[in-house]
Chain A
Amino acid sequence: MTPASQTDAEAAAWLARRDAGEWQPSDQAALDDWASACTANRIALLRLQAVWDKADRLRAIAGSIAIVPEPETELHSEFGRALRRRWYAPLTAVAAAIAAVAAPLLLIDERAEVYATPVGGFQRLPLADGSRVEINTDTRLELRFSEEERRVELDQGEAFFDVASDRTRPFVVSTGGYRVIAVGTAFSVRKLGGTVAVIVTEGRVRLERGGGPEGPGNSALVSAGHVVNVSEAVAVVRPAPAETLAESLSWRDGLLVFNDQPLGEVAAEFNRYNRRQLLVDPSAADVVVGGSFRATNLEGFLRLLEHGFGVRPEPAGDRLLLRRG
Chain B
Amino acid sequence: MPQSLTVPTKLDFIRDLKEKRIDPHDRWFADQVLPLEGALTRFLRRVWPDAAEIEDLRQDVYVRVYEATRNRKPIATSYYVFAVARNLLTDRLRRRRVVAIDLVADLAASNVLSDEVPADRVLSGRQELARLERALADLPPRCREVFRLRKIESLSQREVAERLGIAQSTVEKHVAGAMRLLATGFLAGTEADTTSSANSERDSVDDAGITDRR
Contact = CB atoms under 8 A, between A and B. Distances in A.
B116 interface: yes
Given A20-B157, A91-B189, A128 B125 contact: no
**Interface of chain A, main secondary structure:** helix
Interface string A103-117: 111001010010100
9 tightest A-B contacts by CB? A88-B123, A16-B176, A94-B78, A4-B59, A12-B176, A105-B83, A16-B175, A98-B113, A95-B120
A88 B126 CA distance: 12
Interface string A68-112: 111100001111001110111111111111111111110010100
A58 interface: yes
Interface string B26-69: 11011111111011000000000000000110110011001100
Question: Which residue, of A39, A56, A92, has the highest number of chain B Cβ atoms within 10 A?
Answer: A39
Interface of B: 1-2, 5-15, 17-18, 20, 22, 26-27, 29-36, 38-39, 55-56, 58-59, 62-63, 66-67, 72-83, 86, 110-114, 116-129, 132-133, 136, 147, 150-154, 156-158, 168, 171-173, 175-177, 179-180, 182-183, 186-187, 189, 204-205, 208-213
Contacts of A9: 176, 180, 205, 208-211
Nearest to A8: B180
A32 B10 CA distance: 6
A106 B209 CA distance: 39
A67 B129 contact: yes
Given A91-B118, A98-B78, A105-B79, A6 B208 contact: yes
B9 A36 contact: yes
Contacts of B1: 1, 38, 40
Contacts of A59: 151-152, 154
B183 A48 contact: yes
A43 B55 CA distance: 13
Interface string A9-34: 11011111111110000001001100
Given A13-B211, A79-B22, A99-B120, 17 more contacts: A1-B1, A4-B59, A16-B173, A16-B175, A17-B213, A28-B12, A42-B13, A48-B183, A51-B186, A57-B128, A67-B129, A71-B125, A78-B22, A90-B31, A97-B82, A103-B110, A128-B76
**Interface of chain B, main secondary structure:** helix
A54 to B, nearest CB: 7
A38 B10 contact: no
Nearest to B168: A20
Question: Which residue, of B7, B114, B136, B168, has the highest number of chain A Cβ atoms within 10 A?
Answer: B7
A249 interface: no
11 contacts: A9-B176, A13-B211, A16-B175, A31-B14, A38-B5, A40-B59, A53-B17, A93-B77, A94-B36, A98-B79, A105-B79
Contact of A35 (B11, B129, B158): B11
Contacts of A20: 157-158, 168, 171-172, 175
Contacts of B212: 13
A17 B7 CA distance: 23
Contacts of B172: 13, 16-17, 19-20
A91 B35 contact: yes
Contacts of A213: none
A145 interface: yes
A45 B153 CA distance: 24
Nearest to B171: A20
Nearest to B36: A94
Contacts of B168: 20
A143 interface: yes
Contacts of A14: 213
Interface stretch (A118-126, A181-189, A252-260): A118-126
B204 A5 contact: yes
